[in-house]
Structure 1
Amino acid sequence: MIKILLENFNPDIRPFVWLVSAFILAFVIAYQTFPTILYVSKTKHLMDEPDGRSMHANRTPTLGGIGIFFSLVVVMTIVGAMLNTKVLLLVMGSLTILFFLGLKDDLTVLSARKKFTGQLLAATLLILFTDTRIIGFSKIFQVDVLPYWVSIVFTLFVYILIINAYNLIDGVDGLAGSIALLISAVFSVLFYNSGALSLATISVALIGALTAFLRYNFSSKHKIFMGDTGSMIVGFLIAFFAISFISQTQNNMSSLYFGSSPALILAMLFYPLMDTFRIFFIRIFIMKKSPFKADRNHVHHRFILQGFTHVQTTLTIVSINLFIILIAFSMLHLNLNTQIGLLFIYGSILFYAPFMIKKKLKKIRKNK
């Protein structure tokens, strides 16, 4: 009976049911895994010690990435025989490389060079063996198709940029997980509508794992951080989704997003990228120090300094990023260069607005 059912089962017939099942499976596995991780972390004293730049006061486990990785691998293993096995296996291989690098960094210390090398290796595997790459600039600044090796190098750069930009926003409760949840939700819809069921399954599985993680990340009694293990895995998947989406649309002239995919990706990743470029500018040109030296000048740190709580900071940033994405989708009819130019303008204004509103409210309270 089971053999006949499996032989005749086709996820393409009921993709929505399939994706809901992938979400539930990922959520349940992650949710059941985190208590064990918390217990082992506390028993073996594998905790993050608060320091001068920490936004928390208590010792907290940082191995949440283990639960995220475990749930993703189980889901991809179970669905692998029924979907695009090649892509799923290569994604799992890349995630495994990053998992062990991140785990070593969370438990001991890993040099930036080794992390960078691991990220390059993981990204190269997917680019070369699936030929999933950014083939051109979609006529941004009149540049269209790139030479093959230039395309590969640029795609590698995009992977490294997104992975590390995502890692940098993991500074307050729920922020990194919520931003990734939002981005994965958008990609799930895009992949579902385009018929890319393998990619939709991975993105939905990530949503399930992150939903379970956020339950603990926001908790006051059983808090857990995703750590470098989680941030590298999640950042890598977001980069993979972004590059896969651009690659698909650039190779399909009939796609609704053929001339707009770079702008949509920039909108989805607006906060991580904006914060990264901003922090690098401050460190290099204003503070005259290494751009990789940690401090508390991130946008989310500024929100906390302005009196926002962790939850308020996360909700505000995620809401703004969602609004930016919605505006980007409403401007698909415009020229790509115009879309990107306007994105930088309205995106910057929207992220500056909460500080102006907070300052105005303080002034009103003072005058009362």
Structure 2
Amino acid sequence: MISYFNLMQNSILLLYFVIFVVLELVYFKIADRFNIIDKPNHRSSHQTITIRGGGIIFPISVLIYTLFNDFQQIYFVIGLLAISTISFLDDILTLNNKVRLGIHLTSVLLLFMQWDLFSFSWYWLLIALVFVIATINAYNFMDGINGITGGYSLLTIGSLYYINKSVVNFTSDELLLVVGLALLVFNFFNFRTKAKCFAGDVGSVSIAFIIVFFIGQLILKTQNPFYILLLLVYGTDTAFTVFFRKLRKENIFEAHRSHFYQYLSNHLKYSHLLVTFFYMLAQLLINAALVVFVNDNILHFGGVFLAFVTIYLVLRFSLEGKNKLMVSYNH
């Protein structure tokens, strides 16, 4: 009976995988037909014209899962589709910022409804709002080299699946696997020296929204806010890059190549995949420490945080130098 159930489950997952491959290939045809491409410029980390928006498979995977499973977690799904649609339009058109931000805020509020967060005190809503918006923006900022969005996200989904199976059950195993399969398909076309496609805003924003949804479920289930460290590498690179840009009196809302991963790939000429591997390895070690210390006191979580941030800053200052990081040359 168990083997029959496993066979059925594996067959369903294989069907999902085949559907995602076909849909991704269909999207490539559409993108090629309508010229949905990225052209290299002085801020780019790539040199060839590449299809943009391959990450559209992420929200599509959740939608297909929802259609097959009686429209579960509908507020989350509606919010995901709204934020993905506006992000896709932003990939191909120039949208009004107020419209885009309005849709983002609406999607976040729908996410809060799915979490039943409106039953909490107002300050928890504020903390959650900062967490969600910061994560979405961090993901968008970090999507700059081949493999990094897909690889880092696959590691995060894999870690969440392990926690769900072995530590505490907080969400659907199948939904985690479906998102993981979509990431595998995307990585096949992106995690390579010459990428077939990029995630685009639709990919980076939607996978951030999905991962935030899972981490929010985990934190609410366990009452352990330190699971936010599952995004520590992205969060650290984003936060300190913004901090250093402010020190240099730069406009933090302008496009740039100031992230550490961009310095490693563009200036030191490490391959995109090697830099991605470094980021994934760092986050993997952090995730392993989280699982080991899950029942321990706050000092262990604080130690993991401080250890990584210290190593990160030592590497940045030793490789980039104090002047490059902190001194403005515009005045």
Counterpart for residue 306 of structure 1: 268
Query: Are the counterparts in 2 of residues 173 and 217 from structure 1 also a CA contact under 8 Å?
Result: yes
Note the 1:142-291 alignment, pairs <5 A: 148-193=121-166, 194-198=168-172, 200-219=173-192, 223-250=196-223, 261-266=224-229, 268-285=230-247, 287-291=248-252
Q: 1:107 and 1:356 mapped to 2: Cα distance?
A: 38
CA distance, structure 2, for counterparts of residue 313 and residue 330 of structure 1: 26
Amino-acid identity (%): 24
Aligned to 2:113: 128
TM-score by length of structure 1 reads: 0.78
Deviation at 1:332, TM superposition (A): 3.2
CA change 1:22–1:348 in 2 (3 A) is farther
Cα deviation 1:169-204 (Å, max 9, x = unaligned): 101100011111111111112223434453x32222
Q: Is the 8 A contact 1:95 1:233 kept in 2?
A: yes
The letter of the residue matching 2:105 is L
Matches within 5 A, 1:318-337: 318-336=280-298
* Displacement after TM superposition at 1:306 (Å): 2.1
State the match for 1:31 in structure 2.
21
> Which secondary structure does the structure 2 equivalent of 1:269 belong to?
helix
Q: Could you tell me which residue of structure 2 aligns to residue 344 of structure 1?
A: 305
Greater alpha carbon shift after TM alignment, 53-62 vs 102-111 = 102-111
Name which of structure 1's ranges 215-224 and 309-318 shifts more when overlaid on structure 2.
215-224
Instruction: Calculate the aligned-residue CA RMSD, in Å.
Output: 2.8
Q: Helix, strand or coil for the counterpart of 1:172?
A: coil
Letter of the 2:43 partner, please give it. Answer: R
Q: Is contact 1:65-1:227 (8 Å) kept?
A: yes
What's the TM-score, normalizing by structure 2? 0.86
In structure 1, what is the Cα distance between the partners aligned to 2:259 and 2:80?
A: 27
Separation in 2 of the partners of 1:17 and 1:92?
28
- Secondary structure of 2:78's aligned partner: helix
Residue in structure 2 matching 1:60, options 30, 43, 50: 50
Alignment gaps of 5+ in structure 2: 321-331
In 1, the alpha carbon distance for the partners of 2:30 and 2:133 equals 32
Displacement of 1:69 in angstroms is 2.3
Contact 1:60 1:224 in 2 (8 A): yes
Structure 2 CA distance for aligned equivalents of residues 326 and 311 of structure 1: 22
Distance in 2 of aligned mates of 1:222 and 1:351:
28
User: Does structure 2 retain, via aligned residues, the 8 Å contact 1:279–1:291?
Assistant: no
Contact 1:22 1:205 in 2 (8 A): no
Contact 1:38–1:222 (Cα < 8 Å) also in 2: no
Distance 2:255 2:289 in 1: 33
Conserved in 1, the CA contact under 8 Å of 2:136 and 2:209? yes
Question: Which has the higher Rg, Structure 1 or Structure 2?
Answer: 1
CA deviation map 1:92-126 (0-9, x unaligned): 21111012101111111234443332222112113
After superposition, the Cα gap between the structure-2 partners of 1:130 and 1:180, relative to the gap in structure 1 and judged at 3 Å, is same
Instruction: Quote the Cα distance in structure 2 between the aligned partners of 1:186 and 1:18.
Output: 24
Q: Please identify, of 296-305 and 61-70, the stretch whose mean Cα deviation from structure 2 is larger.
A: 61-70
Q: Residue by residue, what CA displacement relative to the aligned partner does 1:47-68 show, whole Å, maximum 9, x if unpaired?
A: 1111111001111111212223
Count of aligned pairs:
317
Indicate if the aligned counterparts of 1:182 and 1:318 stay in contact, CA closer than 8 A. Answer: yes
SS in 2 for 1:105: helix
Contact 1:275 1:299 in 2 (8 A): yes
